[in-house]
Amino acid sequence: DAGVIQSPRHEVTEMGQEVTLRCKPISGHNSLFWYRQTMMRGLELLIYFNNNVPIDDSGMPEDRFSAKMPNASFSTLKIQPSEPRDSAVYFCASIRGGAPAHNEQFFGPGTRLTVL
Amino acid sequence: RKEVEQDPGPFNVPEGATVAFNCTYSNSASQSFFWYRQDCRKEPKLLMSVYSSGNEDGRFTAQLNRASQYISLLIRDSKLSDSATYLCVVDGGSQGNLIFGKGTKLSVKP
C-alpha cells in the first residue's frame, strides 16, 4: 500500500520566491497534518485538517504560510514569500479518524526546503 | 517550561547494552503518550504507545509516571539497528494534537 506521498522531496529556492509543497494522504485517512522540523525547534505542528476542514492552524508561523485541502486526497502548504528562516524539513502525516491522540500518525518522507 | 523535554544525547552504547531514556511533560491533563522512532533523514514512525500500567514489546519497555509527569523507554540487548532518534510524544491540548519532544539520539556501536 502506498504511504503518505509528498512532493517535491527537495526544494532549493531563493528568498522571496513562492514555494508550494504537496501531500497525498493514505487513502481512507480523513485527518491530515503539516509539520515542520528543525534542529532548533524539533517537530512542530503547523496545521491540522479533519475531513478537509482546517481544525487547528495555531501553529502556522505567519501570514506568509497558507494551507489548503481541496479534497480528501490532496493538500498543499504554500509559503509566499519564502525567507531563509523557513529552511526546514516539512512533513505531512495522516491518520484514520479524527482523534490525533488516539490514532497512529503515518508520516510522509518529508520535503527538505532550503531558502537561500 | 517546555511542553515535552528530552535529553538530546547522544547516548553511545555497545551492542547488547541496556539503555533507558526519560522524558518529562508539562501538561498534567495529557492522556495519551507515545514513543516514535526517527532514523537519520527519514520520517518519524510509531514505536509504541505508553500505557498507565506500563507495556512491553519485545526488547522495548515503556513506562508512565503520571505523578511525576515522566515517561521512560528501556531498550534491552541493544542492536546496531536500534541506532536512531527516539521522540517522546504527548497529547497536548484541547484539540488533542500531539506534542513532539526534540528527541534523544541513540548510537549503538559494535
pLDDT of B42 > 70? The answer is yes
Evaluate if residue B93 carries a pLDDT over 90: no
What residues form DSSP beta bridges with B62? B55, B73
The band of B94, judged by pLDDT with boundaries at 50, 70 and 90, is low
Higher pLDDT, B51 or A93: A93
- Rounded alpha-carbon distances, angstroms, from residue A72 to A54, A56, B41, B107: 12, 17, 27, 39
Interval B62-83: pLDDT, tens: 999 999 999 999 999 999 999 9
Q: What is the DSSP string of B22-58?
A: EEEES-TT---EEEEEE-TTS-EEEEEEE-TT-EEET
| Chain B residue closest in CA terms to A106 | B45
CB contact under 8 A, A43 and B87: yes
Is A53 near chain B, with CB under 8 Å?
no
Q: Are B49 and B109 in contact (CB under 8 A)?
A: no
Where does residue A16 rank: exposed (0-12), middle (13-18), buried (19+ CB within 10 A)?
Answer: exposed
Q: What's the pLDDT tens digit per position in A38-77?
A: 999 999 999 999 999 998 898 998 899 999 999 999 999 9
Question: CA of A36, closest CA in chain B: separation in Å?
Answer: 11
**Percent of chain A surpassing pLDDT 90:** 85
Does A103 touch chain B if contact means CB atoms closer than 8 Å?
Answer: no
Residue B92: its pLDDT value, please? 77
